[in-house]
């Protein structure tokens, strides 16, 4: 859904206020956050979850972190020392909540006046 000839943010335009957009990808925050955080997409919140790829060593031997717990991003868009962002065994799930439609509302059509006879 990211990319797509300039219309990549169309999902945001059609999403209801308070709606959720969920992106599941191999793309770590360094590559996805610049696409998700733009003036055209003013999200109320973006929560990141990290899951091991099914069948990977990380999935077979899970660590102490609960798998459903969100991960906090650092200002440099890394996730701390426990996550090597170059490791291909991670799936990143971005849960984005829409806040407003101010920048994406289409103009309302004018009401037609009845014709006089």
Query: What are the tens digits of pLDDT across the range 84-104?
Result: 888 888 899 999 999 865 554
- Is 105 inside a domain boundary? no
pLDDT at 30 > cutoff 70: yes
Q: So what's the pLDDT on residue 108?
A: 53
Q: Is residue 42 part of a domain?
A: yes
Give the other-Cβ count within 10 Å of 94's Cβ. 20
Q: Does residue 104 lie in a domain region?
A: no
Average pLDDT score, the chain: 80
E strands, 5-112, are 20-25, 43-52, 90-98
pLDDT the model gives residue 99: 83
Helix (H), strand (E) at residue 32: helix 29-36
Its domain, for residue 45, covers: 18-98
Mean pLDDT, range 62-88, rounded to an integer = 86
Cα(33)–Cα(59) distance, rounded to whole angstroms? 25
- Asked if residue 50 is part of any domain, the answer here is yes
Any domain includes 10: no
Question: How far apart are alpha carbons 23 and 96 in whole angstroms?
Answer: 8
Count of structural domains within the chain: 1
Per residue in 2-15, pLDDT (tens digit) is: 554 456 667 787 88
Report residue 83's pLDDT band, with 50, 70 and 90 as the boundaries: confident
Domain assignment present for 89:
yes
pLDDT for residue 47: 92
Token pair of 117, please? Answer: 């006879």
Q: Is residue 68 part of a domain?
A: yes
For residue 57, tell me if it sits in a domain.
yes
**Is the per-residue pLDDT at 111 higher than 80?**
no
12 Cβ contact partners less than 8 Å away, ≥ 6 residues apart? 21, 40, 41, 98, 104
């Amino acid at each position: 859904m990211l990319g797509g000839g300039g219309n990549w943010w169309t999902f945001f335009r059609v999403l209801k206020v308070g709606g959720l957009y969920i992106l599941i990808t191999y793309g770590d925050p360094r590559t996805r956050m610049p696409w998700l955080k733009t003036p055209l997409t003013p999200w109320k919140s973006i929560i990141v979850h990290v899951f091991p790829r099914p069948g990977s060593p990380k999935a077979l031997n899970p660590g102490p972190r609960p798998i459903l717990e969100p991960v906090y991003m650092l200002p440099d868009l890394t996730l701390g020392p426990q996550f090597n962002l170059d490791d291909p065994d991670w799936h990143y799930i971005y849960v984005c909540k829409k806040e407003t439609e101010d920048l994406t509302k289409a103009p309302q059509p004018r009401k037609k006046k009845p014709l006089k006879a």
